[in-house]
Amino acid sequence: MLENLMGILMSIKVTDVIDIVIVAYLLYELLGFIKETRAQQLFRGVLLIIAFFLISEIFNLSLLNWLFTRLITVGLIAVVILFQPEIRRGLEQIGRRGVLSRQFRDIGKEDVYATVHKIVDAVDDFSSTQTGALMAIERETTLTDICETGVIVDAEISVRLLGNLFYEGSPLHDGAVIIRGDRVYAASCVLPLTERQNIGKNLGTRHRAALGLSEVSDAFVIVVSEETGAISVAQNGEFRRFLDLKTLEKMLLDIYLPSGEDKDLLSRFKILKGGRRDD
């Protein structure tokens, strides 16, 4: 038996090891992607169909085998159609792994702190005055098609500009603002609504739009409730609600700065600049 085992080990080539490692990595990434998504239920259904198919093969159940053979053929097409958003998001995540957005690389460190400070201050104003707001920060997935549904602004971010855009009397307040790097690129944009039914009946169109965009892109979407002033964030198809400003600030810094940067410098930046920046 030991000789057989040694013979098997000796017959393994380097390419076989590479093959196994690649397949294991792909399976690991697939399981991580489908976890806590609609694809999790899909995966269970696929495993069940495969199990019945194997049973029909082993026990020579001709009718059952014929049925599941046809079901698998049609099911592959149905999966692509029904789960197109999840498949697209998964491929985008693979494509942007380890890549830092160009528009973030081009921003100086002090400008990053200023940008984050302005966004947080604007959100603070919206929350305290219960002004409804919806802002999407573009990352690796370009939002050009979303921007085309609104009005191109392409102006430097400021608390005053964001306040004017979301002021109830403004013609551009009804929609989303797209932030590209350190600039407000577009306003009054239409976002895709999520099709999920289990996100809470108390969440309105803004929240459904924020979650919908985060499901089909890697955008970081900030929502301020018009009814309660609560701050929420949608990212990677998930919601985080009732955030405080400190948590929002940290999440923004994690987006704008690569890992390893000194994010604590933002506090010193605020002190040096004298608190709020309303320019």
| Interval 7-54: pLDDT, tens | 777 778 888 889 889 988 887 877 766 665 556 666 777 778 888 888
Is the pLDDT at 224 greater than 90? The verdict is: yes
pLDDT confidence bin for 95, thresholds 50/70/90: low
Contact 206, 230 (CB under 8 A): no
Task: State which residues form the domain around 150.
Answer: 102-273
Structural domain count, the chain: 2
Predicted local confidence at residue 94, as pLDDT: 61
**Could you give the count of Cα atoms lying within 13 Å of 163 in the half-sphere of its Cβ?**
15
Report the C-alpha gap between 114 and 181 in whole angstroms: 12
Dump pLDDT digits (tens) for 127-166: 999 999 999 999 988 898 899 999 999 999 999 999 999 9
Task: For residues 242 and 136, state if they share a domain.
Answer: yes
Which of 36, 67, 95 corresponds to the end of one domain? 95
d(CA 130, CA 109): 31
Inter-CA distances, 46 with 15, 148, 273, Å: 30, 39, 58
Per-residue tokens: 24: 């294991």
Q: For position 85, what pLDDT does the model report?
A: 66
Predicted confidence (pLDDT) at residue 276 exceeds the cutoff of 90:
no
Q: Is residue 81 in a domain?
A: yes
Give the position of tokens 């002190």: 271
Residues 111 and 114: their CA atoms lie apart, in Å, by: 5
Measured between alpha carbons, how far is 260 from 74 in angstroms, rounded to an integer? 48
Q: Are residues 111 and 45 in the same domain?
A: no
Stated pTM of the model: 0.67
Q: Has residue 190 been placed in a domain?
A: yes
Asked whether the beta carbons of 143 and 136 are under 8 A apart, the reply is yes
Which residue has better confidence, 221 or 256? 221
Which pair of structure tokens corresponds to residue 105? 């690389």
Is pLDDT above 90 for 247? yes
Q: What is the CATH number of the domain that holds 139?
A: 3.40.1700.10
Which pLDDT tens digit goes with each residue over 108-134? 888 899 999 999 999 999 999 999 999
Q: Cα separation of 109 and 234, whole Å?
A: 25
DSSP class of 138: -
- Give a yes or no: residue 279 inside a domain: no
Q: How far apart are CA 163 and CA 127, in angstroms?
A: 12
Tell whether 114 and 228 lie within a shared domain. yes
